[in-house]
């Protein structure tokens, strides 16, 4: 295996040919490393462009396989980067884009991480994976583990969106609903892994979910080059990311470093923005207070289920990325983020998840405060489909038409 693993905090090396969770020394996340120097001559943007692989596995040299045909794949990645039309509240942004992750299998960016993690777990002979989930990770874990012929045990808060619970059940996972938050679910998973021998697939406790998610960063560099009509890879000025556990943000930050070491981009970086819900914003609070770690956010509550993460094991990695990039952290109320979903639908034709609604509202706030300039190239991450959150909207009271009545259209103005 052309990958090595070491702790993101203390640097201790861990064997990659064995199942790993957190660092055995300091209990922080392990990060994967590749011999990027050796890859420079044969892994180039042109090589990637010429490939016929239509998934994130076209970047397989920086993913945990020695041969791309070993990947457990459902066609994840290669999502569109949509240029935003300058309409209504979007008028003021000259270069606004949406990276629309709702196109992934199971409808969210979680597919990328699960594809990588399940691929590695399968290679190491795992028969049952287990994880806590706010919803979308559960759906993705269900279908990737099925694809790999594994069993899957899921622990979700009992107020998880019904669509996520149903898709996991239909996919044959063992689903447990817990009267608590994702952090409470995580504790049960840990106990269950000890008792039943499951492999813990929790985000950032398992070292390869982040590797799958980092491909968002690789893709973005190609997308931005295409949008600019050039072959030279480039990154935007600002990236807004809806942050729960933070794996996507940390993954992209890692991808940019790797791309620089590969000689694909220079030292320039986007300013990274963590977006959280007002009533669950541990990273925003810690960042504003200048702390390196974010303590448990008490009484966390938000309709944006993916943002309901009151404590994150990768907190220091997120805060590090914010500081290094000159970024910031913004919180958005539930009311505002639901308005964001409506505005994206009405003006851009995108049915975003509430997490995506939140990043759009955060972008507006930052434009209003002058932190974002109108001409800057700004990318919003819509991390999942609004279809999973239909329960948050009301479609009752619509006019009912009797097609047998020839006058039935008369009442329509």
Longest dimension (CA), the chain: 77
Between 242 and 282, name the residue whose CB sits nearer to ligand PLP.
242
What is the chain's alpha carbon radius of gyration, rounded to the nearest angstrom? 21
Q: With binding defined as CB under 6 A, does residue 300 bind ligand PLP? A: no
Which member of 136, 145, 160, 348 binds ligand PLP (CB under 6 A)? 136
Q: Report in angstroms the alpha-carbon separations of 87 from 135, 323, 349, 358, 386.
A: 32, 33, 11, 18, 21
Site residue total, ligand PLP (CB under 6 A): 18
Distances (CA, A) of 249 to 166, 185, 258, 286: 28, 23, 14, 16
From 15-23, 50-58, 237-245, 390-398, span contacting ligand PLP (CB under 6 A)? 237-245
Task: List the interface residues with ligand PLP, window 147-166 (CB under 6 A).
Answer: none
Determine the 3-state secondary structure of 155 from DSSP.
Answer: strand
The tokens for 88 are: 């209504």
Q: Which stretch binds ligand PLP (CB under 6 A): 231-239, 245-253, 264-272, 319-327?
A: 245-253
Stretch that binds ligand PLP, among 130-138, 145-153, 169-177, 368-376 (CB under 6 A): 130-138
E strands in 138-188: 151-157, 174-178
Decide: is 203 part of the binding site for ligand PLP (CB under 6 A).
yes
What is the strand order of the sheet 128-132 is part of? Answer: 174-178, 151-157, 128-132, 199-200
How do 151-157 and 174-178 pair as beta strands? parallel
Q: Is 243 in the site for ligand PLP (CB under 6 A)?
A: yes
In the bound state with ligand PLP, the residue whose beta carbon lies nearer, of 95 and 279, is: 279
The distance of closest approach from Cβ of residue 355 to ligand PLP in the complex, given in angstroms and rounded to an integer, is 4
Site mask for ligand PLP (CB under 6 A), range 94-113, x = bound: --------------x-----
Residue 79 is a binding residue for ligand PLP (CB under 6 A): no
Specify the length of the chain in residues.
Answer: 413
In this chain, which of 245, 310, 340, 386 binds ligand PLP, going by CB under 6 A? 245
Phi-psi group of 397: left, alpha or beta (phi > 0 → left; psi -120 to 50 → alpha; rest → beta): left
134 binds ligand PLP, rule: CB under 6 A: yes
Asked if residue 331 lies in contact with residue 277, where contact means CB atoms within 8 angstroms, the answer is: yes
Footprint of ligand PLP on residues 344-373 (CB under 6 A)? 353, 355
Among 207, 306, 327, 386, binds ligand PLP (CB under 6 A): 306
| Distance from C-alpha of 258 to C-alpha of 47, rounded to nearest angstrom | 16
Instruction: Give me the residues that bind ligand PLP (CB under 6 A), please.
Output: 108, 134-137, 203, 242-248, 306, 353, 355, 383-384
């Amino acid at each position: 295996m052309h990958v090595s693993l070491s702790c993101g905090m203390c640097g201790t090396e861990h064997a990659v040919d064995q199942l790993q969770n957190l660092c055995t020394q300091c209990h922080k996340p392990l990060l994967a490393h590749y011999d990027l120097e050796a890859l420079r001559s044969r892994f180039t943007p042109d090589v990637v462009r010429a490939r016929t692989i239509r998934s994130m596995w076209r970047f397989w040299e920086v993913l945990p396989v020695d041969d791309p045909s070993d990947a457990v794949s459902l066609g994840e990645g290669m999502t569109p980067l949509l240029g935003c039309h300058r309409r209504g509240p979007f008028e003021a942004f000259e270069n606004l884009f949406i990276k629309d992750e709702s196109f992934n299998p199971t409808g969210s960016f979680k597919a990328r991480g699960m594809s990588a993690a399940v691929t590695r777990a399968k290679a190491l002979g795992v028969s049952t994976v287990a994880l806590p989930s706010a919803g979308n990770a559960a759906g993705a874990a269900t279908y990737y583990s099925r694809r790999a012929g594994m069993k899957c045990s899921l622990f979700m808060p009992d107020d998880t969106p019904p669509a996520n619970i149903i898709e996991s059940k239909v996919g044959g996972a063992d689903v447990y609903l817990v009267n608590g938050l994702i952090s409470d679910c995580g504790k049960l998973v840990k106990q269950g892994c000890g008792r039943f021998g499951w492999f813990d697939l929790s985000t950032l406790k398992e070292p390869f979910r982040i590797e799958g998610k980092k491909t968002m960063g690789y893709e973005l560099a190609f997308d931005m080059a295409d949008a600019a009509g050039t072959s030279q890879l480039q990154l935007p000025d600002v990236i807004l990311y809806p942050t729960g556990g933070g794996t996507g943000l940390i993954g992209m930050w890692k991808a940019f470093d790797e791309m620089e070491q590969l000689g694909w981009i220079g030292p320039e970086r986007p300013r990274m923005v963590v977006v959280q819900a007002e009533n669950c914003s541990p990273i925003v609070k810690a960042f504003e207070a200048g702390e390196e770690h974010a303590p448990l956010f008490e009484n966390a509550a938000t309709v944006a289920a993916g943002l309901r993460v009151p404590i994150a094991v990768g907190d220091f990695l997120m805060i590090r990325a914010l500081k290094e990039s000159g970024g910031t952290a913004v919180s958005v109320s539930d009311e505002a983020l639901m308005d964001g979903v409506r505005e994206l639908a009405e003006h851009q034709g995108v049915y975003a998840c509430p997490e995506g609604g939140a990043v759009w509202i955060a972008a507006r706030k930052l434009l209003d405060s002058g932190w974002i300039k109108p001409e800057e190239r700004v990318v919003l991450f819509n991390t999942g489909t609004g279809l999973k959150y239909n329960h948050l909207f009301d479609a009752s009271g619509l006019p009912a038409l009797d097609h047998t009545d020839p006058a039935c259209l008369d009442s329509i103005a």
